[in-house]
Amino acid sequence: MKILVTGGCGFIGSNFIRHILNKYPDYEIINIDALTYAGNKENLRDVTGNKKYRFVLGRIEDKKFIKKIADKTNYIVNFAAETHVDRSIHDANPFLVTNILGTHNLLEAAKSSSVKKIVHISTDEVYGSLGSKGKFTEKTMFAPNSPYSASKASADLLIRAYYETYGLPAVIVRPSNNYGYFQFPEKFIPLMITNLLLNKPIPVYGKGENVRDWCFVEDTCAAIDTVMHNGRVGEAYNAGGSCEVKNIEIAHRILKIMGKGKKFIKFVKDRPGHDYRYALDNSKIKRELGWKPSVNVEEGLEKTIRWYKDNEWWWKPLKQKLKDESKGFWSK
């Protein structure tokens, strides 16, 4: 079995590659990544000597390049994307190029190949924002509120169109907010952890009342694995953590685990178009495929904090790079 993973040097992609290589030692993986700001070959340092793994530098926007590699694979799992909401507000263009045009190139390559299935990794943010009640189902109307989520919603619609028009064997996975090992340190949870390890304050938007459905990255990788092997083509599957927590509560839990006081919290001006609440209905993936999250938020946060404590070699250079480039919205 040969799997083409795009964006495999990113957070979820690198964890997924490690998951597949550990679980299916006979599978071969080709990892394509452009190594943009959040793509890091060091995320996969431990698998670089594996004969079943190969890294190729490249972009999904390159039509000829993608077509040549897609022809030789059985499955495509597309993680390649610009993902940070704040960066999309600052400059939307890279998000449109990679998330929409890049996805289109990938679909065109898959359409003319013998690929058995293309698995596209989306986000719960395509649905927009919830009030205090209810959950997003796969049938919820799209209502994206940031350039990032709009670009991901556009990619989802392209996937649907290529399935309906050309019969392309594609399936979509929509995870909720992920956290865990190798997550870029400008993201909410690793930002807080790494700041506290440096005895710096942790920024929280507004009053921290925004609610997110948190899912440990290993659970998400298991969900993608399940959908890749058993998901019905033409379908979308929500993969949430069944764990709704306010941002301020996440901050308090991290402070408690790390033995820090509330004085480290720094409330900052809220971002434009900040969605209030996300919550995914997991009933479809549970019913059809038998997947459900297994790691609760307390266990997940403890594992994540322990990993960042033990792996300063990984995150400290990235933290310094964000500071030097003055592009880390939280680094000041």
Question: Catalytic positions, please?
Answer: 124-125, 148
Residue with tokens 């792996």: 311
Which amino acid does the sequence have at 218?
E
Q: How many CB atoms within 10 Å of residue 184?
A: 20
Decide: 81 and 87 in contact? Cβ < 8 Å. Answer: no
Q: Are strands 211-216 and 244-246 parallel, antiparallel or unpaired?
A: antiparallel
Q: Are strands 202-205 and 265-268 parallel, antiparallel or unpaired?
A: parallel
Residues in the chain: 332
Distance between CA atoms of residues 257 and 284, nearest Å: 34
Q: How many CB atoms within 10 Å of residue 257?
A: 16
Distance between CA atoms of residues 2 and 66, nearest Å: 15
Decide: 277 and 210 in contact? Cβ < 8 Å. Answer: yes
